[in-house]
């Protein structure tokens, strides 16, 4: 599967985690480094490159998540074999020992069919917010499922919910946009708002 790996490098964190992850991928890929403020803005920069190429999947690597050996190979296998999978994420809390459709965060791989139907990430939640949950809901309405890879565990470095390395408190940003997110879900589900951005 022809895959674009997008490395999100905004901030001052060293890139050794990303370089190590690339070396441990276990499958060939093309790579793009993205240094853009705003999570959705950076993710969308990757999608623009994806749409210009002949790719079948796009994956994102944050600069604060260590992936296990052969992570890309494992996620591609999951993307092709889990029931109606649209996105596979890297679990950072605990291993999954059964296939479970659930809201996912962290280092996604997304298949082309999802990008075609759902499009871009929601940039109205700048620079951070429940962006991943918003995308998952749109993916569900489009008829796909989202999973964490089974028998797999990545390691998040630092505080996921309260880190301030980008100049803001992540939890405060989620709280700020939570009402918008809840309204979006209703509108996606009742068809008054397009799931495609």
Report the CATH number of the 3-190 domain.
Answer: 3.90.550.10
Q: Supply the pLDDT for residue 162.
A: 53
**Encoded tokens for 27:** 């499958």
Instruction: Please say whether the beta carbons of 63 and 9 come within 8 A.
Output: yes
CB atoms within 10 A of CB 7: 22
Q: What is the pTM of this model?
A: 0.94
- DSSP H helical segments within 53-196, as ranges? 71-81, 112-118, 131-141, 170-190
Q: Give the residues of the chain that fall short of pLDDT 70.
A: 159-166
DSSP tally for the chain: helices H, then strands E: 6, 8
């Amino acid at each position: 599967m022809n895959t674009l790996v997008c490395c999100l490098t905004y901030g001052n964190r060293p890139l050794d985690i990303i370089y190590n992850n690339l070396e441990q991928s276990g499958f060939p890929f093309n790579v793009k480094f993205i240094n853009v403020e705003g999570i959705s803005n950076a993710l969308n920069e990757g999608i623009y490159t994806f749409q210009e190429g002949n790719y079948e999947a796009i994956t994102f690597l944050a600069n604060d998540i260590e992936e296990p050996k052969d992570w890309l190979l494992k996620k591609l296998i999951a993307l092709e074999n889990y029931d109606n999978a649209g996105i596979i994420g890297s679990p950072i809390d605990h291993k999954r020992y059964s296939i479970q459709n659930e809201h996912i965060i962290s280092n996604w791989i997304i298949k082309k069919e999802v990008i075609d139907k759902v499009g871009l990430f929601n940039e109205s939640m700048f620079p951070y917010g429940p962006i991943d949950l918003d995308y998952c809901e749109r993916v569900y309405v489009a008829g796909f499922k989202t999973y964490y890879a089974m028998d797999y565990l990545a390691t998040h470095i630092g505080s996921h919910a309260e880190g301030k390395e980008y100049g803001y408190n992540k939890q405060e940003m989620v709280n700020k946009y939570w009402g918008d997110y809840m309204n979006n879900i209703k509108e996606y589900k009742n068809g008054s708002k397009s799931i495609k951005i």
